[in-house]
Amino acid sequence: MKKTLKSPIYKYCPVLLLMALLLFSFSENENSTEPKPKKATNEPVFLSATYKGEDKVYKEYPLKDGEFYNPILQGTYPDPAITRKGDDYYMVCSSFAMFPGVPIFHSKDLVNWTQIGHVLDRTSQLDVHNTGISQGVYAPGITYNENNDTFYMITTAFAGGLGNIVVKTKDPMKGWSEPYKLKFDGIDPSIFFDDDGKAYVVHNDAPEEALYQGHRVIKIWEYDVEKDQIIEGTDKVIVNGGVDLADQPIWIEAPHVYKKNGLYYLMCAEGGTGGWHSEVIFVSDNPKGPYEPAPSNPILTQRYFPKDRENMVDWAGHADLVKGPNDKYYGVFLAIRPNEAGQVTTGRETFILPVDWSGKFPVFENGLVPMEPKLQMPEGVENNTGKDGFFPNGNFTFTDDFQADRLDYRWIGLRGPREDFIKKTKSGLQIKPFETDINELAPTSTLFYRQMHKDFTFTTKMNYKPKSAKDMAGITCYQNERFNYAFGITRKDKDYYLLLERTENGKSKIVASKKIDLDNPVSLKVKAIGDQYEFSYALDGENYENLGGKVSGDILSTNVAGGFTGAMVGLYATSANDATPN
């Protein structure tokens, strides 16, 4: 009202002023009983979002009593590591340039998992603001130290000048320390705490002289628990190349040390993270070696089987072991489920298998035959996945109206905190657009949800009116900064347009565009069936119209776009749009 009261017409017309005040008062009365929705602005408000998984395998293989689905974490949750304290299990996964970093899960039985947050949830712990999505945080390890009742998470951060770091906590439910920077190079570190109080770090590193492409070594250091630092001069190479150097094995990595019956076991991934991926095991009577490989390596792989097998699981490896319920061992590991076109849109996912360790060496049960989509429950465990806050499994529907006090942990940012661009409103979630395009190496104002199925639909309802051609908001299907789709509303002159843009290998082109009216909120939808993606919109919330026909999901596949992540779908806004409607 301040501007109104200063207006000349009210200065000289008190009757008009009184009438205006009465009208304003009446309007306020009306609004107090039935609030009207705010007008759309160039800061979009997403009223709701729904993700629905519809994979055929879950329809054809319904669960029976005593069964659960594998993978246990669908979508891009790679490089799992696991530890146990009493009856509590904690598991972490890689997050690369996603923010917050290192999702952490809790379980009492290895079947029903709850995400309790992220280990690296502050910018002081993780700086990934200008890195590619497949950089950032690699292969975290998590270990509980009984000697001092402390949990440790150790990882390699390919950003922010951190390198190898460790954070720790007495209680994973209550957050983690600031990082301690560790003085060694290489990747994939993990910590082993011996029962004599000593501690060791093992990791992948480059050899002094590489003999072939992919030649790596495994190193071990003694670790000072009081100073949280490796002890300089204690490093030693304990594996050179892999199981048999004569075979020129590639990418020995992701090492973990375990102790059983007085012997020390070193388990590593070997063969690279693609089709030759596997898990191998070594043994020694000393934590610093020498280590001898098991005669029956690998103990886990899917590399030997036909590529056209049904319900194909591939690339299995990068594992960690834990003693489960009833003292039965289990192993978590990554693997993929390609679609019928051989593409990997869901990325590397977290699987689990029971492990037979009745002999000298552990072996993954059914880890050397084609994997099945279902497993038998551990004895005495009930399947509650998708209920009471437990992570869903199989086909499921996730709906968010953004009215909860806390944003669901499954919504993540990229290269920076979500809180920098989101704001909860009475009608939904408002996103403040950054001057950053989806293809830039910078934080984007995008709220991401992992693609967890080969067949899925994702819908959102958005209130938005762009003010200029630089404004755009909608959804994105995103593999990385060089391979993605953007589907949203922008402006050209005085008209509003819906457009679909495809970016392949860094080059963008408009697939289709259409002038639309923006009198009401717009509903946007993407539907994928394997390789085929369809983008559509509805102006009435119900009757969807396709834009651009069927388009290939090839650019959303890990084995096409490269890198280490799966596809994600996001609620996207930008004030740096450079896509011009046709």
pLDDT of residue 258: 98
32 pLDDT above the threshold of 50: no
CB 360 within 8 A of CB 376: no
First vs last C-alpha separation in the chain: 42
Could you check whether the bond before residue 37 is cis, i.e. omega within 30 degrees of 0?
Answer: no
Which has more pLDDT, 543 or 160?
543
CA 563 – CA 384 distance, rounded (Å): 34
Band (41; pLDDT cuts 50, 70, 90): low
pLDDT of residue 196: 96
38 pLDDT above the threshold of 60: no
Is this structure's pTM higher than 0.85?
A: yes
26 pLDDT above the threshold of 50: no
Burial label, 380 (beta-carbon count in 10 A; 0-12, 13-18, 19+): exposed
493 pLDDT above the threshold of 50: yes
534 pLDDT above the threshold of 70: yes
In the numeric block, which tokens belong to residue 120? 């690296």
Which residues on adjacent β-strands are paired with residue 270? 278
Band (13; pLDDT cuts 50, 70, 90): very low
Lowest mean pLDDT among 14-28, 50-64, 186-200, 421-435: 14-28
Give φ, ψ of 57 to 5 degrees: -60, -35
Per-residue pLDDT of 315-343, as tens digits, reads 999 999 999 988 999 999 999 999 999 99
The CA distances from residue 150 to 103, 116, 494, in Å, are: 19, 17, 61
Q: How many CB atoms lie within 10 A of CB 115?
A: 18
Average pLDDT, integer, range 502-524:
96
Q: Identify the DSSP state of 241.
A: S
pLDDT of residue 36: 39
pLDDT of residue 12: 30
pLDDT of residue 18: 30
Query: Given 43, 205, 235, 253, which residue is catalytic?
Result: 253
Long-range contacts of 300-305 (CB under 8 A, 24+ apart): 300/331, 300/333, 300/353, 300/364, 300/367, 300/368, 301/271, 301/277, 301/367, 301/368, 302/277, 302/335, 302/370, 302/371, 303/271, 303/275, 303/276, 303/277, 303/278, 304/368, 305/369, 305/370
Per-residue pLDDT of 369-415, as tens digits, reads 999 999 999 999 999 999 999 999 999 999 999 999 999 999 999 99
In the numeric block, which tokens belong to residue 213? 């492409």
What average pLDDT does the chain have? 92
Per-residue pLDDT of 169-227, as tens digits, reads 999 999 999 999 999 999 999 999 999 999 999 999 999 999 999 999 999 999 999 99
Q: How open is the CA angle 101-471-571, to the nearest 5 degrees?
A: 35
* pLDDT-above-90 percentage for the chain: 90
Query: Given 79, 205, 279, 437, which residue is catalytic?
Result: 79
Band (159; pLDDT cuts 50, 70, 90): confident
Please say if 253 is a catalytic residue.
yes
Please say if 79 is a catalytic residue.
yes
Task: Compute the residue count for the chain.
Answer: 582
Residue of 426, 421, 431, 407 lying closest to 41 (CA atoms): 431
CB 519 within 8 A of CB 463: no
Lowest mean pLDDT among 21-30, 278-287, 528-537: 21-30
Average pLDDT, integer, range 76-82:
98
Long-range contacts of 133-136 (CB under 8 A, 24+ apart): 133/96, 133/97, 133/98, 133/414, 133/480, 133/481, 133/563, 133/565, 134/96, 134/97, 134/480, 134/562, 134/563, 134/564, 134/565, 135/96, 135/97, 135/159, 136/95, 136/96, 136/97, 136/98, 136/101
